[in-house]
Every structure is written in C-alpha cells, then in structure tokens.
Amino acid sequence: MDTDALTPGLLQELRATRPYPALSLTMPTHRRAPDNAQDAVRLRNLVAEAGSRLDADPRVSHETGAAVKAQLDRAVAEVDQRRALDSLVILAGPDEYQIWQLPRTAPERVVLSDSYLTRNLVAAKAGAQVFRVLSVSAEHAALWSGTNEVLRAEDGYGFPLRPPHENFDPERQARSGGAPSIYSSEDTRSFFRAVDGKLRTVQAADPRPLFLVGLPQALSLLEDVGECAKSAVCKVPKGTTAETTAPELAAELKAALDDWRAQKDAAVRDRLDTALGAKTFTSGLDEVWTAAGESRVALVAVEEHFQRTVRVSDNHLQPVDPADVTPGDEGIREDIVDELIETVLDNGGEVVFVADDSLARHGRIAAALRF
C-alpha cells in the first residue's frame, strides 16, 4: 500500500494492541537499477532473522511462530520491486499481513511486539505532507491526492464530476475565461453545490490540507455556494480542463506548495520557541516520554532517524544496547520513540519529523506542552 492509503482510522487500527507477536520488518529500498539488485538479498536476510527471532522467543509457540512465518512468506512473494520507493515495511501476524512501500527511508529492523511498528508509516505520512487538490470549472470537477513527489487523480467519492447539462463550448470557456455568465446560471450553481457536498464527505473521512485550482469566477462561486472553499489553504486562479494532466497541474501548484511547506516548517519552529519562552517546553527522551504519559504533549518534534532501545525502571528510561538484549526479555522496549509517538497521537497531540541533528542540543526530541 502507498502512503495515501494511511488514513487516521487505519493508523489507529494498526497501532491497536494485538496478541504477541506482531512482527514488523523495515528496510531501505532503491527505486532504480543497479542499486535495487541488493534489495532482494537484504529482504531474504531480514526474513531469516525474523524466523530465528520467532524460534528463539520463549513467548512464541511453535504453531504461532509457523503461522507468522507463513504470513511473512506470503507478503514477501507479493512485494513488487518495480514499485519500490525508499523503504519497505511488512507487518505480519498469525492471520494477516500488510505491505507498505514508502517514499521515505527506514532502517533495517525486525521487531516483535504486541503492536505493529507504525513509526515509519507515521513518518512517511508526516514527511510526505499529504494534501488534496480540487480542480474545478463549470463543466468538470476533478479531485487529486498529492504528496511531496506524486500527484494522482482520486477516482472515488463520486469524482470526477461533470454537470448533467453541457454548456456551450465549455472547454474553450474554461481555458479562456470567456462567457462569465456561465457561472451565473442556476445549473452551474447547482453543480458546484454538488461538488462541495462530495468534497465535504471526502474531507470529513480523511481531513487534508486543500488546494483549489480554477478560474477566479469558479473559485468565487465555489466559496459562495459551499463550505470547503472557505477552509482551503490556497486558491490558485488558473483555468483547467478535464484533460489537464498531473504534471501540468503540479506545475501550476508548485509556488503555492513551496510557500505552504515553508510556512509549516516555520510554524513548528515558532511553536517550540513560544513554548520555550512560556516554560511549556521540554526536551530529551526521558522528559518527553514522561510528559507524553501524562497527556501533556501538544506537539512533539522528533529527528527522522532517532530511535532507542530502553529498559523502563522506576518510571525512567535506561538506554540498552540492542546487541545485549536477550530474546523474550519483557522489560525491554525495542523502540520507545515509536511508543512515545503513539501515546502522543492517542492523546490528540501532533507529531512532526525534522531533519537529523536539527535537535541535537535538545537530545534529538523536543515538545511543546499543554501545561
């Protein structure tokens, strides 16, 4: 599955507690030859490691271990290297598996726990900065889903849409901006109400930043008759047609997207600076973990590749070298950062990932607190 498929509901489902062991396998991948030749070998090695871990874990019965390994084998058989991006995540239990190919790198890891490792999915979702685009005119409305690198048409929720009655030479009018009366007709107003209604359904099910693209009169009418235009992060006054391609639309959106991303980065820095001045700032893994457990974290910023294996003792975290971990040691948390992220999300907080070393003086992780 792709990052676009990671809805809030699915993420919550993946983070739910499961019978032990829930196996998570992650590894970096390569998009092109010749580098991608090593991916199959690396995957085989990780699958072998997973099998050894399952066999050595006293908490895993022979039957359960065999079932998990069978699901893992099925997942591996389905991996399509032609669709490889920057990392592969396989989640497997005794009776299920999922394959995720992500546009964000991930380390080689095999984790056995009572929930799936969702950190890489969350990181990919946050890093991808998923958004939605509506291109609209009097004769068509198309919905697009976007990430950092990809813009693709969403053929669902009733999109793309066309009005029941064709207007005179609509494609020419959309391109040229001619015949403004087309946007005054009741047929067009009714069509735009229908577009707004379907768009509200999409946004309610999976809220995302929304960009609108269309002629000025189209954007004005959409705002006049509906609700979604009022909450759009940007409106790009450019005419489109039903034949507008993804690359053409991406080119029109580039300036607006660059500005939006810069504003998001600045907003994170500002929130942390404000929290520091208001003494509602904390940093360092132990301190942020404690605050997250007390539901005090409003925003946590984490370096992209920061991870720690720890032992929890007297409500504090003691770092542990993964090489010293004994299989089946129930006191070990293989990735406490992932658990922390899940706790913050469960309590309604925000999670953002920042560049490695950007939080070096804060112990790789920092948070703005609610109180």
Top CATH class, 280-369: alpha beta
Task: Specify the domain boundaries for CATH 3.30.960.10 within the chain.
Answer: 3-127
- What is the spatial distance between Cα 82 and Cα 283, in angstroms, rounded to a whole number? 41
pLDDT of residue 174: 52
pLDDT of residue 182: 87
pLDDT digits (tens, 9 = 90+) for 194-215: 999 999 999 998 889 999 999 9
Give burial (CB, 10 Å; 0-12/13-18/19+) of 23: buried
Residue type, 240: T
pLDDT of residue 173: 53
pLDDT < 50 stretches in the chain: 168, 179
Tokens coding 321: 């070298």
Task: Specify the domain boundaries for CATH 3.30.420.60 within the chain.
Answer: 129-262
Annotate 307-329 with b (16+ C-beta within 10 A) or e (fewer): bbbbeeeeeebeebeeeeeeeee
What architecture does CATH give domain 129-262?
Answer: 2-Layer Sandwich (3.30)
The 3-class secondary structure across 266-281, one letter per residue, is HHHHHHHHHHHHCCCE
Task: Specify the domain boundaries for CATH 3.30.1330.30 within the chain.
Answer: 280-369
pLDDT digits (tens, 9 = 90+) for 318-354: 888 877 877 667 678 877 887 888 789 888 899 888 8
Distance of CA 364 to the CA centre of its chain: 21
- What is the spatial distance between Cα 323 and Cα 312, in angstroms, rounded to a whole number? 17
pLDDT digits (tens, 9 = 90+) for 123-161: 777 666 789 999 999 999 999 998 766 788 988 788 999
Reply yes or no on domain 3-127 having CATH 3.30.960.10.
yes
pLDDT of residue 319: 86
